[in-house]
Structure 1
């Protein structure tokens, strides 16, 4: 007999496709309704109960096995994998885990199949026009960025190929060569190469638990900064998600410098922590804010679509930097993104993934702290920052053991009093034994450094 009967499980399942059923079972696991070790009903019993084919349930179970959420034993049936087993049986080495780029766990991505198929049937396919954003995607973005009773009006939008391209276009359009821009630090992975490539100067604005420090932003403006880049959701921050009070304080500072433009980076898109109507300078100073919203981490790199939102004159300036303003993004991909933003099954998958990433961050912080390391991660961050005496020596020692991390100097403008390592949490195993082992590797790298040998 199963630990959860077919009739009971069926009451939780409203979807009838393999993807939908698998997604709802994932949600039940994340919520704790289905716990580790629990045996599921037989494929035949559940198929009969909800009125689908045996093959449909078999496909759903296969998707869950691919995500290492269930396992099927010859005589033991299909069981929920114990949390400590996630990553364990399939783990080979840390060289196969992305601790550097903050790339998503592909097993947690929603399927693109239905959205792509629907996109291929749209009437405007292959039209010889170059819309910078399709009406369907714009409507979805207006709903996302606005209050449900009053969608975001007055904004213009443009679809671009990635959040990286969006940041490049935004930065280039708001600051000419030789200008100075203020950048929240630590900056997002890789961003500091953008202003450098454009011949721009940068000045760091540190953060505390509530967001960028207003006094530091004022100093940057006094030094001549013509733009300010920050990430309200603290996607890679060691400390913060922007608070309402801090957003108001920053807006007051910026009001004294009316020519300064603002770039808000939202690299996690729908994966950001669920805070309805999250504080944002876009909401307080919309007439001079460009917002860059990435979807690669929520839906996968091959979706190749991000969105830039802002007042028309700033969007026009940004698009003018893109192949002379004539380039546009694939309508197939834009329609697929619009579908995913509306699709309940995709939303459930994203919510489930958000929960899994938060759990990985929590477990990793516990492991590093237990090892005696000083480690920090913001409430919605995909990065853990670990203090080390010599970041380059520690990173080199770890790389020799297949653990590839970033160092603080790649994300900080202001020199730090101690060294820092940045590790991505997104692909970490939910396995305390493995995480304790990783923490010990980092600890030994900070204590011993790389031993030189003579030959």
Structure 2
């Protein structure tokens, strides 16, 4: 495509104006797939704008799947705009019927989830059912969650799962192009969410005690509008933030205005206590606690509690759509949280999950594969070669998640993420599974990667 030809059709030489005109040309078929666009510099020169303005327009078009840039061909049109897709989350792989063991999806064991019949029956008699009043959180659910909240929350909201809570907080805190700091590696869906919002992701490296102070200090120099991290049960690495580490991170955040988003993805199933910055920064800390893995995915409930302004922004944004979370589901969760039998069952589940994770980690360690981490429903396994390890596991009927899915940039080291919640409790079967994982990780039995 000739730069002068395109420039003639652009009336408003802003990033939005450039993107809008090119979108219209692609939609109407004037510009077809595989058309190579002019260089950023060439179009900027014709429009008499900065290269950054054109680059911003290209970034917007790329985010909506209309163009792609590679070194060999330059920037090429792909086609009309498409719905943004959670690429990392959907990149699981399909191996037909050969796979007998699924270690890719970190879902809870149905046998360890509480029954819902009594809870739903009790919730069906909740007050104000079928009332269109938009209730952020039912009084019964707030009364059930508030005693265990790690700091006095200024605002409360029930949402449709933990990822929705984090997404809405980031979406209401950041404009496209803003920066958000997030620990790395981190949950694949969080990366998908941030890329879809259109923010710049600033990675913060971690160790077994959580985000590294030096890495956060470097990230804060980019002036992110928010810092998102998992204080315990971190996916994929399984670390838990210690009080000492939390104090170090809080000292760095003290002089900033950065919103602090704490993602408690497994809640009561974590073997670590919640360490929160909410008591120190009540006006800019929000905790998102999910109850899907502990009390049932079909409840689709997470509670957002913390800074009043941040929670209110989420409430306002939700009013364009669902408006509020079903009172039946909210009170069903409240019933489960108040029920002594359910609480005992969740404690048993926590112990069972911790035992399964620890036993596989011990088996792998005995074979020269050291995983690290101390909490969560997954293991972060170092491997010599990620694609080869995945193929080896698939050949033995085992699926796993590639570690590259959980990082932002180039992979510094190869890993697999293995879900441990549904592992076998049979020692012999577990030993056989560990043999195969060690073979995939090292290329031989017993040799460290």
Which of the five TM-score ranges fits, normalised by the shorter chain? Answer: 0.7 to 0.9
Could you give the per-residue CA deviations for residues 89-139 of structure 1, whole angstroms, max 9, x where no partner exists? Answer: xxxx99344311210000001111111111112232222322111111112
Residue 285 of structure 1 pairs with residue 289 of structure 2: no
CA RMSD across the alignment:
2.0
Cα distance between partner residues in 2 of 1:240 and 1:262: 18
Structure 1 match to 2:364: 368
Shift of 1:415: 3.8
Report the CA distance shift for 1:226/1:326 in structure 2 as closer, same or farther (over 3 A): same
Structure 1 match to 2:160: 161
Shift of 1:283: 2.5
- Give unpaired runs (5+ residues) of structure 2: 1-96, 445-449
Cα distance between partner residues in 2 of 1:368 and 1:135: 47
Shift of 1:215: 1.0
Residue 299 of structure 1 pairs with residue 295 of structure 2: yes
C-alpha contact (below 8 Å) 1:388/1:394 kept by paired residues: yes
Shift of 1:180: 1.2
Could you give the per-residue CA deviations for residues 146-203 of structure 1, whole angstroms, max 9, x where no partner exists? Answer: 5xxxxx5452111111111111111111211111111112212422101011111112
Alignment of 1:80-229 (within 5 A): 95-146=99-150, 153-229=152-228
- Residues matched between the structures, number: 348
Structure 2 match to 1:52: none
Residue 380 of structure 1 pairs with residue 379 of structure 2: no
Report the CA distance shift for 1:375/1:253 in structure 2 as closer, same or farther (over 3 A): same
C-alpha contact (below 8 Å) 2:238/2:379 kept by paired residues: no
Partner SS state of residue 196, structure 1: helix
Could you give the per-residue CA deviations for residues 312-365 of structure 1, whole angstroms, max 9, x where no partner exists? Answer: 211111222225276111110000111111111110000000000011011101
Report the CA distance shift for 1:323/1:97 in structure 2 as closer, same or farther (over 3 A): farther
Structure 1 match to 2:391: 396
Could you give the per-residue CA deviations for residues 427-446 of structure 1, whole angstroms, max 9, x where no partner exists? Answer: 10122221221222223334
Moved more, 154-163 or 357-366: 154-163
C-alpha contact (below 8 Å) 1:319/1:325 kept by paired residues: no
With structure 2 as the length reference, what TM-score do the two structures score?
0.74
- Give unpaired runs (5+ residues) of structure 1: 1-92, 147-151, 450-455
Partner SS state of residue 165, structure 1: helix
With structure 1 as the length reference, what TM-score do the two structures score?
0.73
Cα distance between partner residues in 2 of 1:167 and 1:157: 14
Moved more, 384-393 or 346-355: 384-393
Cα distance between partner residues in 2 of 1:169 and 1:431: 42
C-alpha contact (below 8 Å) 1:133/1:334 kept by paired residues: yes
Residue 254 of structure 1 pairs with residue 249 of structure 2: no
Partner SS state of residue 284, structure 1: coil
